[in-house]
Amino acid sequence: MSYLRNRAGVVVTIIGLAIVAFLLGDIINYGTPFWMKSQNQVGNINGESIDYQLFNANVEQTTAMYQQQMGGAASPQIRTYAVQQVWNQFISQELLKQEIDKIGLSVSKDELNSLVTGSNPSQQIVQAFTNPETGTFDRSQLNNFISQVSSQGTAEMKQQWEMLLENIRRERLNQKYTNLVSNSIYVTSLEANEDYIQRNKLANFKYVMLDYSSIKDSEINLSDADYKAYYDAHKNGFKNPEESRSIEYVVFDASPTANDTAATRSTIDQLKAELTTSTTDSLFAAINSDNQYPYTYLRKGQVSPALDSVIFNVPVGTTVGPFLSNGVYEIAKVTDAKFSPDSVKASHILLNTTAEGGVDKATAKADSIKSLINKGESFAGLAIQFSEDQGSKVNGGELGTFPRGQMVPEFDEAVFSAKTGDVVIVNSRFGTHIVKIEKQIGNSKIVKAAIVDKTINSGKATTDAVYAKASNFFAEANSKNFAETATKQSLKLEHIERAVAMDNNFNGTDVPRDLVRWAFEAKQGEVADKIFESDQHYIVARVVNVQPKGLLSLDAVKKQIEPQVRNEVKAKMLTEKLNNALNGSSSIDQVAQKLSKNAVEAENVVLANPVLPGVALEPAVIGTAFGLQPNKLSKAVKGSQGVYAVQVNGFVNPAELVGSDLNEQRKQLQTTKTQRAWSSVFQALQNNASIDDNRVRFY
């Protein structure tokens, strides 16, 4: 035993090394180390992590959709909006899923079968198996597909079918939950009548107001007790829903100058002369344009208003411009014009060119599929079987109705040049398409134009001068003299009180994401270690304050609440003054006379809209008026703009609601509450959820 005691340290060390080796073995065998398991998590919702790969795939898809809808190139604003939209979707879906699981809602096997093959199938089934030729649900097509999946379906077909079933199940669960919420909402006749009265009963009264502005701010000395009293009374208003930063910064504007504009105009004038004589218009535009416009046919409304107003009215071969539009000079040469349908309704089957072994083999397979279609095979069935476009295959390949310019140029040209009923094969960057033209609508003039534009950018002389100014400030400013240095150098110090992790804009100025990421890694008082650059600005920043998620401290909100605290102190002073005037008075006019003021008339005021005419929103004052008996004086009432005394002249009561009118009012109020229910439920679920947002690490 003595021997073992003397060597206990060695034994402990050996055991410790063995445990570490065991853990390391687990790490090696199972991948990600335990301290890095959250490295690829965009966020976490009640313990359920959001994987970056999945989240980002949704962001890319949503970004592409917004770009297509807006008809523009990628921009930081579009991407940020997409990130926020996807984040909201993930949160709402996960919270709803967890709540449904928590209360035990389920979809039985028989119920799911009924939603697929029953007499009233899910709308998703109806959409997926609607015959595009008849526009009606094709039950035989559904049965054939189910039989095919069961007997000879590929792994991909089975996966797609399982995904569809899961979507149907989830949709049904969501519907059940929504029905539970909706059925829990009930409005009594008493509630309906009260709502009607609040909206229709009129009050006519007179009031006297002692305005807070009647006392100078300089006359008020605020104590710590004043701040604490206000803070304690309004704590619920100081809950920070997410971590934020208070940041002060200086913006150095590097926008183009008049010299930069003149230089760009000179360049575009020269390019116009060259484009006019060019014999390779599309190549010239591709080489010389800042924004690469597709060299294709255009319909009205696809280009800037200045170009749009001209290119459809000039002869082929004419070069027009330059036009200045949103900081860009544009010229265009019209190379062709013709008439074409305004929009097309079409369906397609998309083949993966690479997976098929190249363009030739993909085209050969497309020809075979086209032959089957021409022989009468169902286009929708073939789309479900062969198409790689996951968004349209579940609808039998339907793309809906779209105008020229919404699809890639090769696709556009094929479907707008063909005739209704044609089946055509098109190769694009997305793959090989078999397209059926269902319908063509309208007929308008289109033109092909080579468009060249030049953006007015800041020249080197401009940016160098502004950067030198930013560098001078950056070199002198530190955590202690940041504001003083800005004043000394005659610079405007900007301040944002509450910047959150996904901001890309401070007080109307676009800021780079690396500035925001830095701010959320920096400590309080820290000045950035570099000058941040955006398209037309240089920015030097300092973190003033770090505001954690949750209830903010008094110190964190002290500056923010100072005006309200000052008004609280003024309210006490004015209340005392007003109570002295009220003492012994029998009418509002007597009160006004004592205060050397005039009583003000307020007519036809309703409780549901508590606005004091010509003053502001004053719910406390309006509520007091509706609680008074006619000709009775109120006590002093603290409002948002001052302290008031009120005397009601009388009320105008609406006609009494009875019978069907009361029932209709009750139905309307219940409909309104039901419509608002989901947002209230979602907000409650979100408030009670534990949500970690790590997006700032990735975006």
Q: What is the pLDDT of residues 529-539, one digit of tens each?
A: 999 998 889 99
Mean pLDDT of 453-482: 95
Higher pLDDT, 301 or 226: 226
327: its two tokens: 């900081």
Mean pLDDT of 341-345: 92
Reduced DSSP (H G I as helix, E B as strand, rest coil) percent helix, strand, coil of the chain, to 5: 50, 20, 30
Mean pLDDT of 129-136: 77
Does the pLDDT of residue 369 top 70, yes or no?
A: yes
Residue 651 to residue 605: CA distance in whole angstroms:
10
What domains does the chain contain, in order, with CATH numbers? 1-37 (no CATH), 109-183 (no CATH), 202-238+555-652 (3.10.50), 242-255+459-548 (3.10.50), 258-340 (no CATH), 343-441 (3.10.50.40)
- Per the listing, tokens 């920096």 go with 522
At 658, is the pLDDT very low, low, confident or very high (cuts 50, 70, 90)?
Answer: confident
pLDDT, tens only, 406-436: 888 889 989 998 999 999 999 998 899 999 9
Q: Mean pLDDT score of the chain, rounded to an integer?
A: 88
Mean pLDDT of 464-487: 96
For the CA atoms of 492, 496, 501, 506, the dihedral, rounded to the nearest 10 degrees, stands at -50
For the CA atoms of 298, 300, 306, 310, the dihedral, rounded to the nearest 10 degrees, stands at 80
Residue 694 to residue 50: CA distance in whole angstroms:
10
Residue 129 to residue 123: CA distance in whole angstroms:
10
What proportion of the chain, given as a percentage, has pLDDT over 90? 65
pLDDT of residue 641: 95
Backbone phi, psi, residue 84, to 5°: -70, -40
Does the pLDDT of residue 347 top 90, yes or no?
A: yes
Mean pLDDT of 360-381: 91
Nearest to 641 by CA among 180, 214, 279, 326: 214
pLDDT, tens only, 433-457: 999 999 999 989 999 999 999 999 9
Least confident of 16-20, 127-131, 310-314, 570-574: 16-20
pLDDT of residue 70: 67
Which residue type occupies 291?
Answer: N
Mean pLDDT of 550-578: 93
How many CB atoms are closer than 10 A to CB 47? 8
CB–CB of 73/84 below 8 Å?
no
pLDDT of residue 72: 61
Q: To 5 degrees, how large is the angle CA 551–CA 552–CA 556?
A: 175
Per the omega criterion (within 30 degrees of 0), is the bond before 121 cis? no
Contact residues for 222 (Cβ-Cβ < 8 A; gap 6+): 562, 565, 566, 569
pLDDT of residue 294: 80
Mean pLDDT of 280-291: 92
Burial class (CB in 10 A: 0-12, 13-18, 19+), 120: exposed
Confidence (pTM): 0.63
At 586, is the pLDDT very low, low, confident or very high (cuts 50, 70, 90)?
Answer: very high
Q: What's the N-to-C CA distance of the chain in angstroms? A: 61
Mean pLDDT of 277-303: 89
At 37, is the pLDDT very low, low, confident or very high (cuts 50, 70, 90)?
Answer: very low
Max CA-CA distance within the chain? 108
At 33, is the pLDDT very low, low, confident or very high (cuts 50, 70, 90)?
Answer: very low
Does the pLDDT of residue 556 top 90, yes or no?
A: no
Q: Could you give the residue ranges of the DSSP H alpha helices within 132-210?
A: 139-152, 155-183, 189-200
In the three-class reduction of DSSP (H, G, I as helix; E, B as strand; rest coil), residue 200 is classed as helix
What proportion of the chain, given as a percentage, has pLDDT over 70? 93
Q: Which strand (E) or helix (H) includes residue 97?
A: helix 76-103
Residue 310 to residue 451: CA distance in whole angstroms:
13
